[in-house]
Amino acid sequence: MIDNLIRSYLNYARIERSLSANSIASYRRDLAQFGAYLVKEKLPITQIERNDIVEFLITLYERKLDARSVARYLVSIRQFFRFLMMEGIVPEDPAATIEAPKIRQALPVFLSVKEVERLLEIPDPRTREGIRDRALIDLMYSTGIRVSELCGLCLGDIQMQSGRLRCIGKGNKERLVPVGRSALAAVQKYLDEARPRFLKNGVCSHLFLNQRGKPLSRVAVWKLLSTYGRRVGLRRPLKPHTLRHSFATHLLDRGADLRSVQMMLGHADISTTQIYTHVVEARLRQIHKAHHPRA
């Protein structure tokens, strides 16, 4: 029964709420584990109480999951029970009064401008992969787009003449983001010299392709960035979001206003963007301490 209810909820989330494929996949993973726990403990969905959910969350901590991951599971469970209430399957949400774990908001990890410049020099311009990867990295840093947005880009989404990029973000929201000259030139080189060699004899509308002429996956982007990060000697693993954090931090560092950065990042709430102001403030304090004679 629980599996059928989870499938019904996922269909509702996809069709009625228009959630993205990534969100649906996340809910599917979380609820599958919650469902397996209920089956193991022989707990009927109609008899779940608050303590049952608390016990499930405790098992997540025992598996060494962090507070952020546990909080995500709790959100998934709450959304699931709200759906069950709407369908008349349960009378109330047993998770409603469970307090979310306290999440310590860490400052985003970002690269320096020099590190970005060194990173862009690493891909080999003599190979199709190197040309593609240079365009990919330059575009991510120039626009601050998420890795899922990058992998979803199609040929018509990048407007060379106007220097803008159309991307579909969370909640299937569309936005236009300016693209820098360097990134435009790198993408044009990729389109002219490398992409046809990935395509072979096939047809694909996606912008960035893998060796088989298929759309480049998020996992593939994670792997190639990790490899380049090691080659450039970065102290921490290079992740797609590191380039997004670098984009936002460097803009604010050079005087961009918070609202504009929010729009370019596609944040629904400006409070999400404000974390980057803390990064800039922290850097200013470091500079003051290091260079002022009476700091």
What are the phi and psi torsion angles at 205 (to 5°)? -85, -15
Taking the CA atoms of 37, 42, 48 and 54 in sequence, report the sign of the dihedral they define.
negative
pLDDT at 270: 81
For the question of residue 12 being annotated catalytic, the response is no
For the question of residue 146 being annotated catalytic, the response is yes
Kindly list the structural domains of the chain, giving each domain's residue range(s) and its CATH number in brackets, ordered by start. 2-86 (1.10.150), 113-290 (1.10.443.10)
Distance CA 155, CA 172 (A): 18
Distance CA 132, CA 216 (A): 11
Which is the catalytic residue, given 132, 134, 195, 244? 244
For the question of residue 170 being annotated catalytic, the response is yes
For the question of residue 190 being annotated catalytic, the response is no
Query: Hey, how many other C-beta atoms are within 10 angstroms of the C-beta on 128?
Result: 17
Distance CA 257, CA 266 (A): 15
- The secondary structure of 17-37 as a DSSP string is S---HHHHHHHHHHHHHHHHH
Which is the catalytic residue, given 170, 175, 189, 197? 170
Which is the catalytic residue, given 14, 166, 241, 283? 241
For the question of residue 276 being annotated catalytic, the response is yes
Supply the DSSP symbol for 98.
Answer: P
The type of residue at 170 is: K
Which is the catalytic residue, given 72, 132, 134, 146? 146
pLDDT at 252: 86
The type of residue at 284 is: L
Taking only the tens place, the pLDDT of each residue in 63-77 is: 988 888 899 999 999
pLDDT at 288: 57
* The two structure tokens encoding residue 192: 């002219």
* Model-wide pTM > 0.75: no
Taking only the tens place, the pLDDT of each residue in 145-156 is: 999 999 999 999
Closest CA to 275 of 92, 47, 105, 154: 105
Which residues of the chain have a pLDDT value below 50?
none
pLDDT at 180: 94
